[in-house]
Structure 1
């Protein structure tokens, strides 16, 4: 089956918002085994939206429209879709009741009149409740055999899905209602697992699995380059989830044999910081961070994980040399002889962070994020990461490429991975 995405909103074309919905839908459809050949953004214009929808229906089995379901006059998605399908808009009592409850729960004195527009649905459509907003989603089948629809239908055997634009409304709706619906349209199932790797570049990772890719039939292997990571998805077509797991397992085992400890998880829902926090908790390790060029990004990534308070004690941002001396006890001699960006300073920052906080692990970074400040000897992108676990010091030198933000983001990833490896070495994992 082929799906096409139409993102509706002039604000997308003007660049006022980033269209993350298309990215999300592409990933989810790929997981479901649904092909995606076209993604289109169109403004709030009736004629252009109508042309775009007609084109999509002529070449795709499933058309997913996002946005344009709000209460204002320029929200036209529902109206244009009904017009293209030659169907009426009718009031849905349940949607009207939910809109009333939404405003009542929020203590509104009166409901703006234009909000009742959101209670109108395309006749013959399946209504998807919106638990995070007022605009319901709709699933419209264009099959003429639907007795509810008496009008002439220009398209047969197509599915149109209308979803609200805000991601915090679209994503929960898609996860709870649309994915189960789409699964029923697919013959059999697609089962996939993700292997997440850190510390090995995309090119090297691809070479390491090239023979598996060349031999693939079912299951298939696909590599994805992430910022500082490589993800490998193994997908099998099967008649059941159980048989899908059986097909995927030998390849996952082979990847584990080849990449060993570079694999930090095979759980798609886990990120690197999730794994690190879990390891810290498992071994009762209390961590302190000391950051210069990352300015708190490492601590921020760790705090993103629920339960981080059990493992993260303190965090220092020591951007200046004076702060490194005052809070982390880095010696003036070290800074004078080797400079702030050096393996020696990184080591003393890590030691000092652990010492002053009385923690049994620390992570420290110092580097040149750019765009200025680099020299021939110490170029932009030179970063040193210091790590201690139970008193043992490790220092990693990184020479990173990219703009300031990318260098800082990569530093966070390599720092977390260094800590992960240090814990594995210390506890024999």
Structure 2
């Protein structure tokens, strides 16, 4: 079954907002075993939106439109779909009352005349409740085989509606059971990962493998269909085993909901170890990421933001000679920062980050994007250097990911108490 996404909104075309809805819907529909060939973005223009809908109906079984269901004059999705299908619009009293109740719960003013437009529904449509806003969704049957689905644009509204109502509807159209498993990889770029699994992808039928770049990680989602869940999961198992064999310790989890930081905190707990952080260019982001994990207080001792050379010397004991001869951005400094953090916090493990995040401060010898990461476990220290691309924020974010992954890899070699 082929599905197509149409994102509606001039603000998306202009780059005023990032279209996260299309990515979310693509991933979720892939899990449901639906095939997606096209994703289209259209501004708030009736003629262009009409053309996009007609084209989508010619080549796809399911068309999902997101956005354009609001109360303002440029929210034209409902009306445009109705015109394309030759359907009438009708007001639904229940939705009218829901809008009234919503405004009362929010303690807001009375709805305006524009708000009541959201109570208008395409004739023959199945109404989908919106528990996070005032614009209901709709499932509109086009004929015996095709459907148009209308969903609100705000991501928090779209995601809840999809999970509660749209996903079950789509799953019901597919008579086979769909299961998936995600293999999460750190320390390898998307293109390299794709190369490693290219033969599997070329030969795939069922299960299928899809790669997703996830901010310093690559996720491989294996999706299989079967007569029941047991059969689908059985066909996934050998693929997961093969991926683990190919990628080795670069695989950190196969749990969909587990993040890298959650995995690291879990490792520390199992090994009954504590950790400290020493950060320069990341400014506390490593510590913050770890602390975001519930229960991190059991393993996180202290975090040090030593941005200046003086702080590195005073708090972490980095040698004056090291800073003078090697510089703050150096292998030696990262090593001494990690050692110093472990000692100061009385922790068995420590991670350090020092680098040049830019946009200024780089030299020919030490360019912007050069980052050293140190890891100290039981007084033994390892240092890795990276040359990263991107703006200041991206370099810092990827540095955090690299630091946590480095800690993870070395923790794996520590015997559990």
Question: Which bracket does the TM-score occupy, shorter chain normalised?
Answer: over 0.9
- CA drift of 1:242 comes to 0.7
Secondary structure of the residue that 2:414 maps to in structure 1? helix
User: What does residue 43 of structure 2 align with?
Assistant: 43
Secondary structure of the residue that 1:110 maps to in structure 2? coil
Question: Any stretches of 5+ residues in structure 2 without a counterpart?
Answer: none
Deviations 1:189-242 (A, max 9, x none): 332211111123445444443443454343233334444333222222311111
What is the distance in 2 between the residues matched to 1:138 and 1:379?
53
User: What does residue 55 of structure 1 align with?
Assistant: 55
- CA drift of 1:52 comes to 2.0
Give me the TM-score of the superposition, normalised by structure 2. 0.92
- CA drift of 1:115 comes to 1.6
Greater displacement, 171-180 / 234-243:
234-243
Does residue 126 (structure 1) correspond to residue 143 (structure 2)? The answer is no
- Structure 1 residues 194 and 89 mapped into 2: Cα distance closer, same or farther (>3 Å)? same
Does residue 234 (structure 1) correspond to residue 222 (structure 2)? The answer is yes
User: What does residue 266 of structure 2 align with?
Assistant: 278
- Structure 1 residues 206 and 44 mapped into 2: Cα distance closer, same or farther (>3 Å)? closer
What is the distance in 2 between the residues matched to 1:160 and 1:201?
37
- Structure 1 residues 101 and 295 mapped into 2: Cα distance closer, same or farther (>3 Å)? same
Secondary structure of the residue that 1:200 maps to in structure 2? coil
User: What does residue 153 of structure 1 align with?
Assistant: none
- CA drift of 1:130 comes to 1.0
Secondary structure of the residue that 2:114 maps to in structure 1? helix
User: What does residue 116 of structure 2 align with?
Assistant: 116
User: What does residue 413 of structure 1 align with?
Assistant: 401
What is the distance in 1 between the residues matched to 2:260 and 2:334?
22
Does residue 31 (structure 1) correspond to residue 19 (structure 2)? The answer is no
Deviations 1:71-92 (A, max 9, x none): 1122111111122222222222
User: What does residue 97 of structure 1 align with?
Assistant: 97
- Structure 1 residues 92 and 287 mapped into 2: Cα distance closer, same or farther (>3 Å)? farther
Secondary structure of the residue that 2:79 maps to in structure 1? helix
Secondary structure of the residue that 1:5 maps to in structure 2? strand
User: What does residue 194 of structure 1 align with?
Assistant: 182
User: What does residue 136 of structure 2 align with?
Assistant: 136
What is the distance in 1 between the residues matched to 2:140 and 2:332?
64
Deviations 1:108-157 (A, max 9, x none): 353333222212211221111111111111111123xxxxxxxxxxxx63
Secondary structure of the residue that 1:36 maps to in structure 2? strand
What is the distance in 2 between the residues matched to 1:203 and 1:11?
31
What is the distance in 2 between the residues matched to 1:217 and 1:81?
35
User: What does residue 10 of structure 2 align with?
Assistant: 10
- Structure 1 residues 428 and 136 mapped into 2: Cα distance closer, same or farther (>3 Å)? same
What is the distance in 2 between the residues matched to 1:57 and 1:201?
37
**Aligned residue-pair number:** 417
Question: Any stretches of 5+ residues in structure 1 without a counterpart?
Answer: 144-155
What is the distance in 1 between the residues matched to 2:203 and 2:122?
48
Deviation beyond 4 Å, 4+ runs, structure 1: none
- CA drift of 1:365 comes to 0.3
Cα RMSD of the aligned pairs, angstroms, is: 2.3
- Structure 1 residues 428 and 211 mapped into 2: Cα distance closer, same or farther (>3 Å)? farther
What is the distance in 2 between the residues matched to 1:399 and 1:8?
39
- Structure 1 residues 91 and 307 mapped into 2: Cα distance closer, same or farther (>3 Å)? farther
What is the distance in 2 between the residues matched to 1:49 and 1:222?
30
Secondary structure of the residue that 2:412 maps to in structure 1? helix
Alignment of 1:127-206 (within 5 A): 127-143=127-143, 157-206=145-194
What is the distance in 2 between the residues matched to 1:164 and 1:109?
22
Greater displacement, 99-108 / 242-251:
99-108
Give me the TM-score of the superposition, normalised by structure 1. 0.90
User: What does residue 314 of structure 1 align with?
Assistant: 302
Greater displacement, 110-119 / 259-268:
110-119
Alignment of 1:357-376 (within 5 A): 357-376=345-364
User: What does residue 245 of structure 2 align with?
Assistant: 257
Secondary structure of the residue that 1:378 maps to in structure 2? coil
What is the distance in 2 between the residues matched to 1:63 and 1:170?
15
- Structure 1 residues 375 and 74 mapped into 2: Cα distance closer, same or farther (>3 Å)? closer
User: What does residue 79 of structure 1 align with?
Assistant: 79
What is the distance in 2 between the residues matched to 1:406 and 1:31?
29
